Amino acid sequence: MGRGDRLLVWGLLMLGAWSWEISVVEAQGYWETVVDNAGIATMHSAVSHDGNVVLLDRTNVGPSQLNLAPGVCRDNPQDRATKHDCTAHSALFSPGSNKIRPLFVYTDTWCSSGQFDGSGKLVQTGGDADGLMKIRHFSPCGGGDCDWVELDGGLQEGRWYASNQILPDGTQIVVGGRGVGTVEYVPANGRGTYDLPLLYKSNDAQMDNLYPFVHLLPNNQLFIFANRDSCLYDWETNKVVRDYPTIPGEPRNYPSAGSSVLLPLSANANFGNAEVLICGGAAYGAYMNPAGQPASQTCGRIAPLGAGAGWAMENMPQRRLMGDMILLPTREVLIINGAGGGAQGWGNAVNPVKMPVLYKPYNAAGARMQTLTASPIPRVYHSTANLLPDGRVMVAGSNTHQFYTLAGYLPTELRIETFSPPYMGANRPTFAEVPGGLKYGGGFTATVKAANPKNIELNLLSAPFVTHSYAQGQRLLQLEASAPAAAGGGAYTVDSKAPPSAAVAPGGYYMLFPVADGNVGYASWVKIG
């Protein structure tokens, strides 16, 4: 073989190796920076049913890098940093165009909570300083001139670091907060505040019971977790029904910052297969004595409605705190963002964890975790992650400092990225026809365009309010789905049925994804109720 032939073979081998490397990277997902400067650091985020994403930061942080509309300024004598401020502290991000529109929020939304109501309106509660007892509304308008509305009536108790969960009656329960051991309801509808013993029991010297994990179970009761303990709560009687064993390992809530999801509910189990997953956390004392102590490496999983419910533990590939856990249309969990040590708080994070992990709930223990492609950008304290209707995951925020600090170690992060999980392949399925509204227990037919599918799933996902490593109100429902029937023109019909009750799926807007043989399509928004 001559030198030229050897070079040709070498080139072909290198090309093959390069192609193999690209395919491996794609199999692990890929990242894209879609906005170089959003102008604000995204502490809170939520995807509205018009497809836009509401971004929120705090107000008492000084000027942002995003100006309000000409002639619009916020004059607030109670602001601790800038009493005359012509910059925005909230914005609307449009994933299709990657445009940012400034929004006007008046009171401080620092470490607040929220959730969409049944009409698709974002209800936002609490915060710090002048925002401590506020209720705010944002009604999506398809990218028009909609903006924040701050209500005259407020919360019954100040709520800072609380959690919200929409309920089957359409109201939201607001749980806990800094120095608060009660729950209340928004709107109150004549109800007061109610002591929750778990919040007193779980309080410790560094208050590891903030941003409690709250999940609505299909039996119409709430699983509430704080620090390392949890209970089953009847919101209709305001009574604790049951206490659960303490989870092994480290504290799991703010400032120790694990994360939690209610794993997918399936029509195949009559939506009775409720399991809660909690991953990560920080060593006790890491917040009071920040010295970069290693984060937790464990996940705990519990079936709270089962007899003798207890925690089954497993290890993540890396230690992680401040991670976000996002349900994917494939009925898997993406664990993303975070740090390998320290705790939440100003400058307390060390060793950013840039590699997401895919958690596969239906694999056997020990074979559930897959490490994916690392992001080039560290995302630690005050970062967020949200599933978009096109199947990507939007990742934003990270501000480890009290004010905007754009240089140095772990600076304030104003870029927005998207992560495309491995299911973002070619020939993605699309809906040719799907109802825009569903009635509980009602049957419907969806028409899906796909490439010779053997199986089509119809998976329904809520749009949660994401903050501080917890997606409030997040849930996924695998609906009934018949075998696909050819309808011509590359389309297939699938017969299905809406969720049976508001306990399984509280009324409101959901993303309905077609998943053909594991290939995720583009979601359509449907309203239930």
For the chain, domain boundaries:
30-420, 430-528
* DSSP code string of 87-145: B-SEEEEETTTTEEEEE---S--TT-EEEE-TTSPEEEE--SGGGTT-EEEE---TTSS
Region 36-52: what's the mean pLDDT? Answer: 98
What pLDDT sits at residue 147? 98
Exposure pattern of 44-72 as b/e (b: 16+ CB <10 Å)?
bbbbbbbbbbbbbbbbbbeebebebeeee
Q: Which residues contact 476 (CB under 8 A, 6 or more apart)?
A: 264, 265, 327, 329, 331, 459, 460, 461, 462
Task: Compute the distance between CA of residue 329 and CA of residue 308 in angstroms, rounded to an integer.
Answer: 31
* 16 CB-contact burial (10 Å; exposed 0-12 / middle 13-18 / buried 19+): exposed
Please tell me the CATH superfamily of domain 30-420, with its number.
Galactose oxidase/kelch, beta-propeller (2.130.10.80)
pLDDT tens per residue across span 272-318: 999 999 999 999 999 999 888 999 999 999 999 999 999 999 999 99
Residue 261's alpha-carbon distances to 108, 217, 299, 460, 479, in angstroms, are: 28, 12, 11, 15, 19
- Assigned CATH topology for domain 430-528: Immunoglobulin-like (2.60.40)
DSSP designation for 267: G
Q: Is the pLDDT of residue 6 over 60?
A: no
pLDDT tens per residue across span 61-86: 999 999 999 999 999 999 999 999 99
Asked if residues 314 and 366 have their Cβ atoms less than 8 Å apart, the reply is yes
Task: Compute the distance between CA of residue 185 and CA of residue 222 in angstroms, rounded to an integer.
Answer: 14
Q: Is the pLDDT of residue 122 over 50?
A: yes
Task: Round the average pLDDT of the chain to a whole number and report it.
Answer: 94
What pLDDT sits at residue 292? 86
Q: Which residues contact 28 (CB under 8 A, 6 or more apart)?
A: 370, 371, 372, 373, 422
What pLDDT sits at residue 16? 38
What pLDDT sits at residue 114? 98
Task: Compute the distance between CA of residue 202 and CA of residue 257 in angstroms, rounded to an integer.
Answer: 15
The DSSP element (H or E) to which 222 belongs, if any, is strand 222-226
What pLDDT sits at residue 399? 96
What pLDDT sits at residue 291? 85
Q: Is the pLDDT of residue 23 over 70?
A: no
Angle at 123 between CA 435 and CA 128, to 5 degrees: 155
The predicted model scores a pTM of 0.94
pLDDT tens per residue across span 329-384: 999 999 999 999 999 999 999 999 999 999 999 999 999 999 999 999 999 999 99
Q: Is the pLDDT of residue 2 over 80?
A: no
- Give me 349's structure tokens: 């994070």
Tell me if 30-420 shares its fold with 430-528: no
* DSSP code string of 298-319: EEEEE-TTSTT---EEEE-SS-
What pLDDT sits at residue 425? 83
- Give me 56's structure tokens: 């929120």
Region 324-328: what's the mean pLDDT? Answer: 98
What pLDDT sits at residue 17? 32
What pLDDT sits at residue 21? 31
Q: Is the pLDDT of residue 112 over 50?
A: yes
228 or 7, greater pLDDT: 228
pLDDT tens per residue across span 400-418: 999 999 999 999 999 999 9
pLDDT tens per residue across span 137-191: 999 998 789 999 999 999 999 999 999 999 999 999 999 999 999 999 999 999 9
* pLDDT above 90 as % of the chain: 93
Task: Give the three-state DSSP class for 515.
Answer: strand
What pLDDT sits at residue 426? 83
What pLDDT sits at residue 84? 98
* Residue 427 pLDDT class (50, 70, 90 cuts): confident
Q: Is the pLDDT of residue 15 over 80?
A: no
Q: Which of 4-13, 48-57, 197-206 has the lowest mean pLDDT?
A: 4-13
* DSSP code string of 397-465: E---SSS---SSSS-----EEEEE-TT--SS--EEEE--SEE-TT-EEEEEEE-SS-S-EEEEEE---E
Task: Compute the distance between CA of residue 122 and CA of residue 130 in angstroms, rounded to an integer.
Answer: 20
Exposure pattern of 441-458 as b/e (b: 16+ CB <10 Å)?
eeebebbbbbeebeebbb
- Residue 73: other Cβ atoms inside 10 A: 14
Asked if residues 194 and 182 have their Cβ atoms less than 8 Å apart, the reply is yes
Region 31-50: what's the mean pLDDT? Answer: 98
Q: Is the pLDDT of residue 462 over 60?
A: yes
Angle at 275 between CA 300 and CA 326, to 5 degrees: 75
Q: Is the pLDDT of residue 54 over 90?
A: yes
Q: Is the pLDDT of residue 41 over 70?
A: yes
* Residue 12 pLDDT class (50, 70, 90 cuts): very low
- Give me 143's structure tokens: 């990218």
Q: Is the pLDDT of residue 14 over 50?
A: no
Q: Is the pLDDT of residue 7 over 90?
A: no
* Residue 13 pLDDT class (50, 70, 90 cuts): very low
